[in-house]
Structure 1
Amino acid sequence: MIGSPQSLPLGLGVGGSMLSLILCNMQQPTYTTYDTIWDGPLDYSVKKPILKSVDKSGKSVIEFEEFSKSVIPITVANYSTLHKMAFVSFCVFNGISLSPAFGLLPVSTVLGVAALSVFVTGGSAFAALKMKPDSLTKYKPILYGSLFGLFGLGLVSIGTSIMMGENTFTHFAQEFDLYFGLALFTGLTALDTMLSKLFKRVNQITLEFQLIYF
């Protein structure tokens, strides 16, 4: 492929990606801590009933305990302009390095793969949000074990191909990696989405937007 028209964008993309990554890692973000006020759980029906007094007729007067406001510090990362530009250039050069491969494929194939990726990622995440909490955590060892197994199979396939050339095993490994990997990463995406929902991880993008602009 050296000397071919595809070698220039490939070399430019790989070289630019490496330099961008080095520049990005050289930058250190600064951190700002904001004090946010929390008024208790969102569902106020969980307030504890407390006995306030007993009226003259002997009936108990029940009121609901009020939640006191709590100040919770939230730390937000601040990235410099150079840091952001390095990250954007890394993404751009990655795309350039893949352009020769896209040039060898029909446009319909590239668009089909992109649509399939969006459907798998978005569909599995949406399905996880609609599932019962903790319904996928029992499959976590299986999913992550399968991921390491798939990685090991890939290494064995590459080694076999180098030593023995293309054979039945390498073809089987490629087909297995394609279809099983698609199913596996669908499950991993759903699992990660459910864990984020289960542990109520903060949506950092929305939070930083609100802190900066409001």
Structure 2
Amino acid sequence: MAQPFSELERAAVYRAIYERRDMRHFVPGPIDPGVLARLIDAAHHAPSVGFMQPWRMVRITRPALRDALHGVVERERLKTADAMGTRRDEFMRLKVEGMQQCAEVLVMALMDGRERHVFGRRTLPEMDLASVACAIQNLWLAARAEGLGMGWVSIFDPHDVSQLLQMPAGAKPVAILCLGHVEQFYEAPMLALEGWASRKPLSECVFENSWPAL
């Protein structure tokens, strides 16, 4: 029978899970290249349906390109605010990204040619996206273990980002990831601290044998 990690090792894994935060506030300073390599390798070791490994990562190192990506996000932020109705002003007060302050910006994308992969996707083609999400989570937890913050930015038009990064037809950006040093991690998810939403109780998310009757 497989043996569990030691008590200290288990505690470290759970600590990374519970203390991971979607960070928006960063402090200056580059990320050590060795640490960055470990983080990217952690993402690359994520599980994927049919072992298709659909993630593609683009590291943004040109300041002008980072500025252009930030512009794409800002345009969508305003459109999202307009779609919020009565919560528009509340949304506009939120800090939704840290792209101009973080040390590194990575764009996580789905590869092109995914239709060739049928294993695990014949009836659930969205499993390619689920696999990329696993890679992002690996990166997030590894970053927390390294004492680095990471923020997931999803407020952008995929077509605009694809054009900026010269992605081939069929590829699709799904996340702009901000990585960097932080002064401290939020005590709770930022949107909970801001009163935007709260964590649902497990009783609303975990069922047994069937969906509960309304």
Which TM-score tier does this pair reach, normalised by the shorter chain? under 0.3
Indicate the structure (1 or 2) with the bigger Cα radius of gyration. Answer: 1
- The structure whose residues are more often helix, as a share, is 1
Higher RCO (C-alpha under 8 Å, 6+ residues apart): 2
TM superposition score normalised by structure 1: 0.23
Instruction: Name the TM-score, length of structure 2 as normaliser.
Output: 0.23
